[in-house]
Structures are given as C-alpha cells and as structure tokens.
A and B are shown apart, each in its own frame.
Chain A
C-alpha cells in the first residue's frame, strides 16, 4: 500500500513539474532541481507533452493579430538582468519582448531582446541560438544593428543590441508610396548590408519593413539578423509555419513550409517585397488572412507596381519583379547583383534584368499549347500542372475583369481542356489523376453556361468510370476459392459491364461492334473483350468466347488480329506459334494484352518455350507492364524454371505491391529454389493482402511447418480459419498436422516429456493414423507413464477394426511391453491379415514379437533371425537385435542375449539422444526409433537383473 502511495505521489509530482514547465517555460533540469530522481521521468513525459503541443500548434495556430503569449506568464514586471538597468518595455513582437536598458558599467543605452519562452525550449536549441547569435555579433556593418552581447538569465536567453531612437520602415512608410529614386537608393543600401551578411554565411530569412529601423539621421539599419532561423528551428513554429510575422514578404519557398533548402535568395525576394511596398504603398501580397496571403505568395503573380502607381519607372519595376520571381534561380543571383542593378538604374545606365511579362506570357503559353500536344512530348504531370496554371489564370482574370462574357469564355475553355486532358490520362490508365481533373473542371460548369459542355463533362466522367471498371475486373481476376482459382466472377462482371456499354447479349453483333468503334474508350473495350474471351476459356465456357471475339473482330478489323481472335486458334498450339512468329512483321504490332494472352495459352498448351520467347519479347518492349511480368513468371514456373520465374514475379510485386496473386506465386518459386524464409515472407504478404486466398494460406502454413516454425504455423492456421470459416475442416486438419509435426520434432530430439504433451495437444481430434497413436503410446512409455500407454494401447485395439488403423502398428503398440495374453491375442487378430504369409523383414520381426510376448521365445528367435537375414542393414535390423536380446534372455541363453544387446547398444549409442536423419540411416522411421528406445530400456533392465527368467509375459 505505502509503495503504491509513494508511486502515486511520484506521478502527481511529475505532473506538477510538467505543469510548471508548461507555464513558466523553465527547463526539465530546472524544475527538477529539488527532485533529481525524477529528472528522467520528467524529461520523458515532457517529450510526450511537446509532441502533443506540436500537434495542437499545428491544428490550432494562434491568431496573427494578437501576438502570442506562448503560455508564458503575463509578466508586466521588468526583468532583472545583472549588469543592466532595464528602463522600459519597447514592444512585444512575434519573437519576443524588447526592452530599453542601460549597460551600467559602459553607461550605454541598449535594446535587450528576450525570446519567447516557448521559442527555445530545450537546452540544445538555446545553445545553438547562443552560438549563432555570437556569429551575428561578429557582423559589423553600418546598416546592420550591432549585437553586443548574448547571455542567459533565469534559464532564459537574451541578447543586447544597438539601441536606435527612431521608427521602423513600416511605420515610416505608413502605406504611402515613396519617390522611385529614394526607394531604389534605400533598397540598394539594404542590399549591400544583406550581401555582407550573406558573405558571412548568415541569412536573415525575415526581412520586412518592420525589421528595418531608421536612425534619426535616416540611416537604415537591419535588425533581427540571422535570428529568425533559430526560432524557425523550433517545432512549434515549423509546424504552424507562418506563425511569426506576416507572410507578405516571405519567399514562396519559405511560405510553402519548412521543407527544402532555403538559400540566401529568400532575402533577395524580401528586398524585392520591401522595394515593392516602397513603390506602391502596399506589400506585393496581402490577403484577408495569413493563410490567404500564403496562398497568394505561392500561386499568384504580383500586380506590376506601375499598375498601382503609374509613376514607377519601367526599369525599376523590372528590377522589383525580378526579385519577386517564384523560382529562386530566376531571381538575382545575389543581393550584390540586385544592389548593382539598382545603382545602374540610379545612374541612368541600362539595367541587366529583363522584363518577362510573366502573366501575359504564361497565359499565352497556356493557349498556344493545347493539352494533348504536350502530353505526347512531356507526360501528363506537366499537363496537370499546366492546367492548374490555366485555372489560376482564370481565377486571377475573373477577379480583375469581372465581365460575364469573359468569364464564360474562360470557363468553357477550362472545361474543354480538362475533358481532353482527362481523356488522355484515361487512355494511359491514370484513373485517379483523370478523375481529379474532371472534378476540378466541374467547378466551372455554372459559369460556362453551356449545356453541351456540361454534357461533355458528364460523358467524360461516365467513360472514365466505365474504363476504370473494366480495368478493375482484369486486375481482380481470377478469384480464389478452396479449389484454387475461379474465373466465373470475372466473367459475370464483364457481362454486366458489356451490357451497360450497350454490347449485351441481345444486341445485334453489328450494332455492338459499331458501339465499340464509336466509343471514346474503344481501346479499353477491345482489351476487355479479348480478356472476357480469355476468362471464358479459362473455365471452359467455350461458347462464352465466341461473342466477345466476334464483336472485337468486327469493330477492329486487321488481318493478324482477325486470325488471333478466332476461338479455335486459342486451342491450337501450331496456329498460335505461327501467329506469334508473324506478329513481328504485322503492319500493326499486336497490343501487349494479346501477346500476354497468346503467351498464357501457349504455356498452357505445352509450348512453354515459345510462350517464354514471346513474353520475353513483350517484356523488352515494356519491362514494367504488370501483366507481362506476371505471365512471364507463370510461363517460366510452368516450364520448371523457378529461379527465373521468381525474378519476374518479383518485378510484378514491385509494380503492383497490392496484388496478392504474384506474391503467392513468388512464394512458391522461392520455396522451390530453397529460399524458405523469403518464401514465407512472400506468401504471408499474399495472405495479408487477400485473406481469402486459401491456396496461399496452405502454402504459408506448409512453409512454416517445414521451417520448423510450428507456433507461427499454428497461429497462421487460426487466422486462416478466422478469415475463411467455410474452410474450417480443411484447416483443422492442417492444424493437426502442424501439431503432430511439432510433437515429432521433439520426439526426434529425445525430448520425451515435451513430445508427450505435444502429442496430447493434438487430441482429442488426433488423426486416424496408426503412426500417430503408436508414437503417442511409445512416448508415453519412454516418459514412464505406463497407465497412459495402456490406455492408448487398448484404444488402438478397440479402434483397429472400425477405423482401419493399420494392424501392423497396432500389434507393435501392443508388443512394446509385455502385455496380458488376451491383448496379445487381439493384436494377433488385428494384424493377422497384414502379417500372415508375408516374409518381408518387418513382417517377420513383428510375427516374432507377437510370439515372444506370447511366451513362445524359441519360435520367435527363428523369425527374428530370418528377418535379419532378409534385410541385414543396421537401420532395419536393430529392432530384431533387441528382440533377440529379450528372447534369448527368456530362453536362459545369457551369452547370446548379451551379444545381441551389445550390438544393438553400440549402434544406438553412436547417435546420442537424437534420432539420426534419413541421410545417415536410410529407411529409419520415427516409430522404429521409438520402439528401439523402448525395447532397449527393457533389454537393459533384463540384463542388469542378470537372472535368466522363465515366462516373460506378465499375466
């Protein structure tokens, strides 16, 4: 109780300390000063709190306008920093609090800045901050505020800097445009200073008018140099991104998030923003909210300054817009280059920057290059982006023009482009992208005000759905059932799709063919028709092949394809071979799916070499086609080349890792080439992706079994039953095998007790297999559980007849120890049919054993000797040697008994406790080994007792 109490107290205390950290911004070390033992706990829990705080910060960013208190106490009292006299609060900013102070010994007025408590939370961050602030302190430039000192008080960092009595540029501008030359001169000065800092490896990252202080004589001085990055390194900031300061002056690569390397050109961008604001009275981007501003920074082009202030000279506008380009590499290469161009402007020389007229140019570019033209050359991604640009343009133009007609025209154009692009994407099977393009375009339907376009869009959508459905059917078949593969569901799905597409059974052939030919998804339908025929053939639904092939022939006439699409050809190896040979010279090369079909058919017809050849050819043409890889793998597997097959199945699972089929096939091949563990992984993937894949479960369990991972195999059985309750009986049998294997494994290594328990774990549904019961009986004896043995023995005798247990093994179970006469007689009766008249070594031996247990030792000896004579190899004869030991002992022939005993023991001892494997002793079964162990115990006991006894059998 007291322990529990103190543990609780500990938790309460940890919680209190954490609370203190949150509320005061103190460190874990600090709050744990009086509880050093809790430091580790507090640190660990603090990590968790920080993670959650990051999440909260990301989801619920603080309001921009109110500033952030960072959960720090509202401390109106001035801080006390040794060596300084704090005079007044100058202001609170996004990054921290600034005070005016006097350095007592130097009698110098300074500004002291204390970063927010939450901003530099860990010791590492503070250390990094201190180190880099010192680097800034080393930076001396007339236009950069000098940092004097970096220090720490009460666990919080601070730094002191040059105090400027004046205002910042933002306040000075007060939204009023400045004369162009003055603006250029001031920004040139700033650019010089920024360049100096860049040379020292320091990037400002948060340049804005509010960070440019104006001394009373008008000298501009940049403040907060190199400091935003430290704050930027803090999770709370990087997560919420634009929490500090306004994004209006931020470069797009900064605004888009913390990722990516930001170069010094973010400062060039910011200088451009400052110039822009000086020229126009407003920053280049200013949205209703910070988020909106970020969006504009990322997506929109700034309005040319001359539009807002007609007096802005063209060249200065060009310089300004060059700084503000979205792509960093298209801005000035350095702040120095900007300064020089500004000076050229001031000196009346031609500037180096070239106007781009980006907006107009982009727009024209979008019109000049219709979607499809670029698709051929450049790929769909670029196009999606281009379309996005077109949409933005539309957006911008809308906002500005506001003319209904113009909007309508642009909306129509957007829809047309989208439909055409979506069709291209659909043709290359990029369903998701096509879908998004259409979804985006739908936003313009109302504006476009055109029934035709609305219908066109709806049609495109419908075709996309149909094409995607057809592809889906191909991707999913064949289904799996307990017998293996089932093609029926695929055939039914095709039939349903064809009906929807107007190709149903009742439709005349010509009409159906025309529907295919005129359909915008003609190619996809043709593929589906061929595949539907293939599916029909796969489950021998021969008449199901005729119609799809006939429609395809009529819709897509071509000499080679017409011959390929004859149902009879699909059963005729020679025709297929001939077709494959001619495929290369056909004026229209056959599409990949037909090659795949031909390959699969040929491989099924025994022409695996030809199949492999043409699939290899198809593979060369398109090495990343999923179907080609899959079927090439299948063909190679069928041809008995598992290593090669595995290679293509590997490619197939790489291309479509979500498809369970190739994983299952890969597993089989890997098992064949002996990569057992890899095989297990592959089939496990298959069962995880498709838990209804019964054959894969079977393999999975089998591979685990043969790897000796019995517990895993048993767990797999349970999962397989869970997923496939209809297969319970089947898997229950597998479970029996797995458990039996596990028991045998223990028995083989001589772990009798463990083995006995494992044999028992198979009960009560033990297999109807006499071997199992014999092993159980023998192991029971070896453990010394005679009662258990006798129960098993008697059960075997009882069941021998109704369940047809093998009589030979039942008799052996009975003769394992001396047994009552009626049991021996029953054993004789149950094994009589199998043993009588047979002269194989094992039959002779067991007949001898039964005689021996009946007390007829002399007759038994002659049978044992005959058995040894018929098969003298040690592995076969060892049981007879032991039986001879027992028989001679009872006959009172101690020397003979000792001789055979010595022979048997010498041989058995050579293997230690474990059973020799089948390689070292061919033909030795576990039941032989177990019987040998039992008989040896008996023989040892008889010989050590010494006295040759009379009747051995206990009655």
Chain B
C-alpha cells in the first residue's frame, strides 16, 4: 500500500506531541501535518475542478488543479502557522475549517470562470457531457456543512475533508466507531434536509421537509 496507515501516522504525531508537552507543536510535526493537509486539499480541489467544472479543464480554458492551488495552499499554510494549534485535534479542527473556506473560495471563482466561458459560447454552447450532479451547488454544499452542529461538523470534517477512516476518527476523538457513524449519518441527514432542492428534477417537490436538528 502506498504510504503508511493514517492511524499509525496520527499515533506517531500524538506520541511526538506527548513528548513535547507543555510546549507548542514541534516544528517537524507541524510540517508533517501541514504536508498531509496540503496533499488532501490538493485532492479535494482537483475533485472539485474535475467533477464540478469539467469544462474549465478543457480547451480553451485548460485550467489545472495545480495552477489553482498554489495560492490557496499558501494561504492555508499561513493561517495554520499563525493559529499554532496545540493539539492534533485542534489542528484538524482549524485545518478542516480553512480547507472548507478555501474550497468555497475556489468554487466561487470557478463559478465565475464557468459563467464567463458560457457567455462567450452563447451561440453554440457545447453539450455538457459530464452528468455531473453538482456545479455551482458546490458553494451551497460547503455553506450547509458550515452550519452543521459542532459535533457533526467535526466528524464530517475529519472523515470527509481530511479523508480519515472511521476508526481513525474515533480514535482521535476518543469516542466509539459507532458514535462516529451516528454523527456521520446524522450529518448526511441534516445536509439532505438543508439542501432539499439539490434533488434531481422529476421528484415530488411537495415532499415533507424533515425537521431541523434542534
């Protein structure tokens, strides 16, 4: 398998942390954590670009994730360095939030780019052959995540934004895997209630709305 298991890596961070307790995070650990977050953000940006805005990746725009990313990553790194999280959990919390913000920013700019392209192609718009269910909805999704309750959002961030497995997440939070699953499914339900209109066309729009989470 490529790379070591995430749990092991985190365990090592945790061990290193306990060794340097009382001080701020040691620089090599920070670097390692940042590297991890950066790599993950790269994956997410590329997914956002390729799946939601495939037209921008083709001529004439030819936008590449790497081009888009350098500034984004730089900003996130700066924010994380300044925040100096004291614990791994704190680190993931701040990083997750910043990653979502950066994605939101990227999605916004892509939306503008996409509509600019469409304007220019108004006479003969190329057929959209992507079947992509998202598009500008990415921004709305990110906003909906932002408004999840704290516990759900933390689990969502760890699993979906940071790409951790459920056992890793459980370990980091000190809860059971079952709890992680419950919070995840609850966040999916809350998101599906908040984003009811994302549904594909043809479904009954008068379907009862689920109640909000209070």
Q: Would you call A59 and B189 a contact (CB within 8 A)? A: no
Rounded to whole angstroms, the CA-CA distance of A68 and B163 in the bound complex is 10
Report B173-207 residues with CB < 8 Å from chain A CB.
177-178, 181-182, 184-186, 188-189, 191-192, 195-196, 198-200, 203-204, 207
Q: Which of B25-33, B59-67, B72-80, B83-91 contacts A (4 or more CB under 8 A)?
A: B59-67
| CB contact between A240 and one of B51, B67, B186 (< 8 Å): that residue | B51
* Residue B150 interfacial (CB < 8 Å): no
Residue numbers in A under 8 Å from B46 (CB-CB) = 289, 291-292
B195 adjacent to A60 (CB under 8 Å): no
CB-based contact B192/A51 at 8 Å: yes
Which one of A15, A54, A59, A431 has the highest number of Cβ atoms from chain B below 10 Å of its Cβ?
A59
Give the interface segment out of A448-456, A655-663, A877-885, A914-922.
A655-663
For B189, give its contact among A8, A49, A58, A258 (CB under 8 Å).
A49
The distance in angstroms between the C-alpha atoms of A290 and B5, with both chains bound, is 17
* A49 partner, pick from B52, B138, B188, B211, beta carbons under 8 A: B188
- B residues less than 8 Å from A41 (CB atoms): 208
CB pair B131 A238 closer than 8 Å: yes
Binary contact track A213-241/B, C-beta < 8 Å → 1, others 0: 00000000000000000000000001111
Q: For chain A residues 1-23, which have a beta carbon within 8 Å of chain B?
A: 8, 11, 14-15, 18-19, 22-23
B137 within 8 A of A: yes
Query: Is A71's CB under 8 angstroms from B167's CB?
Result: no
Q: Are B160 and A51 in contact (CB under 8 A)?
A: no
Residue numbers in B under 8 Å from A67 (CB-CB):
165
Taking a contact as CB atoms closer than 8 A, the residue among B52, B167, B210 that contacts A58 in the complex is B52
- Chain A residues lying within 8 Å of B138, measured Cβ to Cβ, are 59
A23 pairs with B181, CB closer than 8 A: yes
Q: Which residue of B lies closest to A63 (CB)?
A: B163
Does A436 count as interface, using CB distance less than 8 angstroms? yes
Question: Within the assembled complex, what's the spacing in Å between the Cα atoms of A67 and B3?
Answer: 12
By beta carbon, the residue of chain A nearest B48 is: A59
Residues of B near A73 (CB, < 8 A) are 177-178, 181
How distant is the Cα of A781 from the Cα of B103 in the complex, in angstroms?
71
The listed residue (B160, B184, B203) touching A44 by CB distance below 8 A is: B203
A658 CA to B185 CA in the complex, in Å? Answer: 44
> Which of B133, B184, B210 contacts A55, CB < 8 Å?
B133
Identify which of A11, A51, A291, A657 contacts B65 (C-beta below 8 A).
A291
Task: Answer yes or no: A712 CB below 8 A from chain B CBs.
Answer: no
| Contact between A55 and B198, CB atoms less than 8 A apart | yes
Size of A's binding interface in residues, CB under 8 A: 66
Q: Does B71 contact A (CB under 8 A)?
A: no
Please state if A55 and B60 are interface contacts (CB–CB under 8 Å).
no
Q: Are A44 and B192 in touch, CB under 8 angstroms? A: no
Is A62 in contact with chain B by the CB < 8 A criterion?
yes
| B82 interface contact, C-beta 8 A | no
Among B40, B131, B177, B208, contact of A258 (Cβ-Cβ < 8 Å): B131
One of B2, B44, B119, B199 near A64 (C-beta < 8 A): B2
Knowing A48-B199, A257-B130, A289-B42 touch, does A388 contact B189 (C-beta < 8 A)? no
Assess whether A381 is interfacial by the CB under 8 Å rule.
yes
Q: Using Cβ atoms and an 8 Å threshold, which residues of chain A touch B181?
A: 23, 71, 73
A-contact 0/1 string along B116-135, CB 8 Å cutoff:
11011111000001111110
Check if A259 is an interface residue, CB within 8 A of chain B: yes
B166 touches A69 (CB 8 A): yes
The residues of B that contact A458 with a CB separation of less than 8 Å are none
| A23–B120 CA distance with the chains assembled, in angstroms | 46
Contact of A291 among B5, B43, B132, B185 (CB under 8 A): B43
Residue on B nearest A291 in the bound complex, by CB: B46
Q: Which of A56, A62, A381 contacts B163 (CB 8 A)?
A: A62
Given contacts A59-B52, A66-B163, A443-B67, contact A658 B122 (CB under 8 A): yes
A432 adjacent to B119 (CB under 8 Å): yes
Q: Evaluate whether A58 and B51 lie within 8 angstroms (CB atoms) in the complex, with A51-B192, A66-B164, A291-B46 already known.
A: yes
The interface bits of chain B over 146-181 (1 if a CB of A lies within 8 angstroms of the residue's CB, else 0) are 000000000000001101111110000000011001
Question: CB of B6 within 8 A of chain A?
Answer: yes
Distance in angstroms between the alpha carbons of A73 and B182 in the assembled complex: 11
- Chain B contact residues, majority secondary structure: helix
Q: For chain A residues 332-379, which have a beta carbon within 8 Å of chain B?
A: none
Q: Given A289-B46, A381-B59, A443-B67, verify A55-B141 contact (CB < 8 Å).
A: yes
A154 to B103, CA, bound (A): 40
Task: Tell whether A307 is near chain B: CB-to-CB under 8 Å.
Answer: no
Question: Which residues of the other chain, A, contact B142 by a CB distance below 8 angstroms?
Answer: 59
A63 to B185, CA, bound (A): 19
Cβ contact within 8 Å between A58 and B160: no
**Residue among A23, A55, A443 making CB contact with B134, cutoff 8 Å:** A55
Distance between Cα atoms of A268 and B3 in the complex (Å): 29
* Contact in complex: A60, B47 (CB < 8 Å): yes
A762 to chain B, nearest CB (A): 37
Q: Which of B116, B161, B185 contacts A22 (CB 8 A)?
A: B185
Residue on A with the closest CB to B137?
Answer: A55
Instruction: Find chain A residues with CB under 8 A from B163 CB.
Output: 60-63, 66
Closest to B208 in A: A11
A334 → B minimal CB distance (Å): 27
Assess the A58–B134 pair: CB atoms within 8 A: yes
Q: Distance (Å) between the CB of B172 and the closest chain A CB? A: 14
A58 to B54, CA, bound (A): 13
Report the Cα distance A431→B53, complex, angstroms.
21
Query: In whole angstroms, how far apart are the Cα atoms of A292 and B2 in the complex?
Result: 15
User: With a CB–CB cut-off of 8 A, which chain A residues contact B18?
Assistant: none
| B3 partner, pick from A65, A74, A240, A436, beta carbons under 8 A | A65
A54 engages B133 (CB within 8 Å): yes
Query: Which of B2, B51, B133, B192 interacts with A48 by CB under 8 Å?
Result: B192
User: In the complex, how many angstroms separate the beta carbon of B27 from the nearest chain A beta carbon?
Assistant: 23
Residue in B40, B61, B130, B131 whose CB lies within 8 Å of A436? B61
Which of A59, A62, A258, A384 is in CB contact (< 8 Å) with B60? A384
Chain B nearest CB, measured from A91 CB (Å): 11
Would you call A462 an interface residue if the criterion is a C-beta within 8 Å of the partner chain's C-beta atoms?
no
B103 to A: closest C-beta gap in Å: 8
Residue of A nearest to B211 (CB): A11
Q: Are B189 and A15 in contact (CB under 8 A)?
A: yes
User: Please, which residues of chain B bring their CB within 8 A of the CB of A437?
Assistant: 60
Cβ–Cβ < 8 Å partners of B54 in chain A: 257
CB distance from A198 to the nearest CB of B (A): 26
Q: Does A45 contact B (CB under 8 A)?
A: yes
Residues of the B chain whose Cβ atoms lie less than 8 Å from the Cβ of A388: 59, 62
A51 to B195, CA, bound (A): 10
Residues of A contacting B198 in the complex (Cβ-Cβ under 8 angstroms) = 51-52, 55
**CA–CA, A386 to B81, complex, Å?**
43
A913 within 8 A of B: no
State A44–B137 Cα separation when bound (angstroms): 21
Residue of A44, A65, A381, A431 near B1 (CB, 8 A) is: A65
CA distance A259 to B126 in the complex (A): 15
Q: Is residue A53 within 8 Å, beta carbon to beta carbon, of the partner chain?
A: yes
Q: Which residues of A contact B134 (CB under 8 A)?
A: 55, 58-59
Residues of B within 8 A of A66 (CB): 5-6, 163-165, 168
Residues of A within 8 A of B129 (CB): 259-260
B93 at the interface (CB under 8 A from A): no
Beta-carbon nearest neighbor of A259 in chain B: B129
Q: Which residue of A lies closest to B202 (CB)?
A: A47
**Nearest chain-B residue to A383 (Cβ)?**
B59
Which 9 pairs of residues, A with B, have the shortest CB-CB distance? A432-B120, A63-B163, A291-B46, A60-B160, A22-B185, A52-B192, A436-B60, A433-B60, A384-B59
Q: With contacts A48-B207, A239-B51, A291-B46 known, what are 4 further pairs, Cβ within 8 A?
A: A60-B47, A60-B161, A381-B59, A436-B60
9 A-B residue pairs with Cβ-Cβ distance under 8 Å, sorted by A, are A19-B186, A22-B189, A45-B207, A55-B134, A63-B163, A65-B3, A71-B185, A73-B181, A239-B51
Which residues of chain B have a CB within 8 Å of any CB of chain A?
A: 1-3, 5-6, 39-40, 42-44, 46-48, 50-52, 54, 59-62, 64-65, 67, 103, 116-117, 119-123, 129-134, 137-138, 141-142, 160-161, 163-168, 177-178, 181-182, 184-186, 188-189, 191-192, 195-196, 198-200, 203-204, 207-208, 210-211
